[in-house]
Each structure stands twice: as C-alpha cells, then as structure tokens.
Structure 1
Amino acid sequence: MASTQDFRGRWALVTGASAGIGVALARELASHGANLILTARRADRLDALASELRARGVDVRTVTADLSDPAAPRHIFDATEGAGVQVDILINNAGLGVFGEFRSNATEQELGQIRVNCEAMVALARLFVPKMIERRRGWILITASTASFQPVPYLSTYAATKAFDRFFALGLAQEVGRYGVKVTALCPGPTESEFFDVSGAGILRRKGVQSAEEVARLGIEGLARGAWTVVPNLMGRASAFAVRFLPVRLITYLVDRLARPAGEPPSHKVKE
C-alpha cells in the first residue's frame, strides 16, 4: 500500500525552497526520510534551511537558480541527474504572483509569471520525467492554487498560469501513471507565506489563512497515495465545487468587488 514511507532514502528536488510552502514541503519530505535537493534564487536562505535539515541527519544539497532564466532548468538537471543523483521526487513549487490592475502592472512582471509558473515548470518536468519512466517509479507534485478553478481579476495572469499548472498536472498524471509515476496538483488557498507581501495582494489576506506546514503535510500525503488533485483547505474545496455551477461573469464580478485595489473605479455590472 502506498505511503509516505516510500519516500525514505530517495532524493527529492524542491523548487522555490527558500520560503513559504517550499520550505514547508522540504521539511515535510525530510520528516519522511527523503534526501533533499533545494533550489531557489536566494542562496543564503537555501544554506540556512540546508543547515537546519542536516542537523536533523538529512542528506541535503543546494542548487542556486533563478527559474525566470530559461537556462535554469537545464542547470538544475545537470547539477542533479546529470551528476549522478537520481531524483525520484520532483516538487515543482516555485511560483510568482503579481496583484494589481493588468494595464498598470509592469510587462516584465506579467511575463515573468508565465516564465516561472508555466515555462520553467514544464521544462523541469520534461527533463526529469523520462528518467522516472525508465525506472518505472517517480512522484511529481505541481503547486497550483485554488485560483486555478476560476478567473481572478487583479490576479489575472497568475490565476491563468495556475489553471495551466493544474491542467498540465492532470494530463501528465494520465500519461505517466501506467509507468508507475504519480503526479499531483496541489491547490492551496490563502496560505501564510510571502505571497501576500511579494505579490502586493495584502488586501486578500483574510481570516482563515492556512499554515504552510498544513498545506505541505496534506500535499505530501496526497502525493504518496497518488491523488491527482489536493485542495488542502475546506473553504477551497467548497469554492472549487461551487464555481462549477455559477456563471463566470458572476464569479468575476464578485471577486472584483472583493479584491479591487483602493482607488480603482467601480466594477461593471454583470449582464443578465
């Protein structure tokens, strides 16, 4: 029977491992006996986490890389599989978000979300999946979001990239399942992390924000049992279900009312 004990002694690569859910996922995998390869832009944070985990007896390596650079996925692969380290667990967690009116956001910020959330995620999967198929064993977790279930005004690009991530994970899960490779889309709702501050979406921080540790625990448990989708928050599961039955125009209107930045003009009415 599949369990998190299957991770013991295996190498797990965690992207975006310098903060938030990425750090929590690394710690959660370590608690189940996995070895860790940590990658992110900020070497100092990677080193601090690596030191913490090594003190617990975990074998840890770090690879500093900026996934907005198209060359970064190959660099990460060459430093791991290419160097003889067999990666059985790929945690595609790195992501960017930018909150605000699309017309005012910097073009590079909008495109950067696509590069990191979509392009780099696909590139890493394309590099590591063939090796997993050859071994008839592997686990891939892709961090999507509850934002992947509906359009989100003022996070328009971010939500679209997360919908891409979720659908990619679902399609890939069907393709590679016959080879013993499991793929899970982790779809957290509001989570206590740097996201609100870095993206500028502090207005969306509400009561009921989930801890990154709980998100990671439920995500890794779901990955072990082969769940295609994990929505770790009850409210997120309820909203993901409800939006199936509501008109998109109504959803976007309501989100607009909730999330509209201060000073923006009132949203247009939903047409009947």
Structure 2
Amino acid sequence: MIDVKGKWCLVTGGCRGVGRLIAIEMAKLGANLILQGRDKSHAEKVIAELAPYGVQVKAVGCNLENEAEIDAALAEIDSFGVQVDLVFNNAGLMSHYFSDYTTNTMDDFRQAMAVNFFAPMKIVYHFLPGMIKRGFGRMQLTTSGIANEPELAAYACAKAALTKFVKDFACKLNGTDVMMNVMDPGWLRTDLGGPNAPNAPETVIPGALVSVLLDDKKSGRWFSAQDYVGKSIAEAVDAGRNVFA
C-alpha cells in the first residue's frame, strides 16, 4: 500500500456524493486535494469538512460538457504549481431514461459521451505524460456494471468506452509505477443513482480507494467497490491484489 501523505490528489465531482467521500478518506490519509465541481463555490462545504485533517485543499470549477471550460480548469490546476500524482476521474452524468428504448436521442448520446468519456479521457491525457516522466502516478476512472438496459444506452455505452480506453493502456503501463484502472461503485443512492438504489453511498469506502493505493504495478483492471464492504483500508488493498482483470 502506497503512502499518499503530502501527495496531490485530483477528485473530479469531488464536491458531493462518491467524490466527496473519496476526498474525505484521502485527506484522512494525508493527501492534499484538488476538488473539481461544476462551480468552484460548490467545494466550500467539503473544504470545511476537510479542515480537521490539516491537508491543503484547492478547488476548480468547470462544466465537463464544455471542452473549453475543462481546458481552463486544467490550466488553473497547472498554475497551482503542484505535482498531481493521484487522479480520481469520478464525475459522471446519468443519461435520460427512455421507456421506449427505440427512441434514444443522439443529443443524449453526445451529452453522456462528453461527460462520461471525453472529459475523463482529456484529463488522463493531460496528466499521464508527467506521471510517466516521473515514474509514478495513479489514475482511477469510474465505470459502471450497467448491462441489458437499452433504456439507458447512452450512459452504458459511454461507460463501456471508458472501460475499453483504460484496459488498453495496460500493455504500456504494466510493470511501471504508473497505474490506471477502473472502479465500479455499484448502484448507489446518490443524485446520479437515485433513491431506489440498493446501496448507501458510504459503501463505496474503502473499495473506491483500492486501485489508487495498490503498489503492484498492474493496470487495466476492474475493481468493484462493493466487494470490499466491511473491510479496513489495509484489508481492502490486500484483497485488491487478487484482482487480475
């Protein structure tokens, strides 16, 4: 298990839901945080929650549907003059539910792909070269196990594309200390998952941290956060060593 104390960690969607929970747990471990939200002001409550842990916290705001806003946010992060070693590409957007699954719209696909695939892909390409040059880095991209629901085809396809994107990096990153994997949080009662989901948001911890804390130099794997419910962080990381694909 790696030591993240003093390292800088970017969490997209870090102002609420799963992102907020990840930020709190990483702060407990001593990591400094950069929180991304749709508006920078949305981070104020989380920044206050993180104060007791004595870590540095910064915030950026951008709409992940807007490439120009993403570019501006990344430029702002660069201007902080810090080295981002850990990235949780957590932010996501649920597509509309089409009861008549033959009526999914192209606009819905475009929006889902913009937020759930193109935005995290852009963030990966921004930070990955520096990680490779330094010989260290962790990236976790949030995927979904959604299947057989053509009513949500736009969301499902965007997450499938994201998973494929990450898995194909394994042939280049395996054996290095730059690791990139996907994490499925499970169906949660969040703003994205809705009130009928079976799992409380808190059940993603510690599973949502595992792929970033591992030190086994393996990439392209799928981690299911619900597999680690009830474990300590150390126990979860040890169990994560048994994930091979």
2:230 corresponds to 1:231: no
Q: Deviations over 1:22-78 (max 9, x none)?
A: 111111211111100000103332111112112331210000111110123322221
Say if 1:43 and 1:64, in contact at 8 Å, map to a contact too. Answer: yes
Moved over 4 A (4+): 102-107
Paired with 2:103 and 2:164, the residues of 1 have a C-alpha distance of 28
Q: Deviations over 1:157-181 (max 9, x none)?
A: 1011111111212222332234410
- Bigger radius of gyration: 1
2:213 corresponds to 1:214: no
Counterpart residue identity of residue 46, structure 2: L
- Stretches of structure 2 lacking an aligned partner (at least 5 in a row): 228-245
2:20 corresponds in structure 1 to 23
Q: Deviations over 1:126-167 (max 9, x none)?
A: 0100000010000000000112xx342211110111111112
| Count of aligned positions | 221
2:133 corresponds in structure 1 to 134
Q: Deviations over 1:197-216 (max 9, x none)?
A: 4xxxx6xx24xx22323314
Quote the offset at 1:17 in angstroms. Answer: 1.2
Paired with 2:28 and 2:8, the residues of 1 have a C-alpha distance of 13
Say if 1:151 and 1:160, in contact at 8 Å, map to a contact too. Answer: no
Paired with 2:191 and 2:106, the residues of 1 have a C-alpha distance of 22
* Residue 105 to residue 54, structure 1, CA distance change in 2 (3 Å): farther
Say if 1:15 and 1:22, in contact at 8 Å, map to a contact too. Answer: yes
* Residue 77 to residue 44, structure 1, CA distance change in 2 (3 Å): closer
> In the alignment, which of 37, 40, 43 is matched to residue 43 of structure 1?
40
Counterpart residue identity of residue 225, structure 2: P
Identity within the alignment, %? 28
* Residue 62 to residue 177, structure 1, CA distance change in 2 (3 Å): same
TM-score, normalization by structure 2: 0.82
Counterpart residue identity of residue 167, structure 1: K
> In the alignment, which of 82, 86, 111 is matched to residue 85 of structure 1?
82
2:57 corresponds to 1:60: yes
Q: What root-mean-square deviation, in Å, do the aligned CA atoms of Structure 1 and Structure 2 show? A: 2.0
The 3-state SS of whatever aligns with 2:123 is: helix
- Stretches of structure 1 lacking an aligned partner (at least 5 in a row): 235-272
Paired with 2:53 and 2:80, the residues of 1 have a C-alpha distance of 25
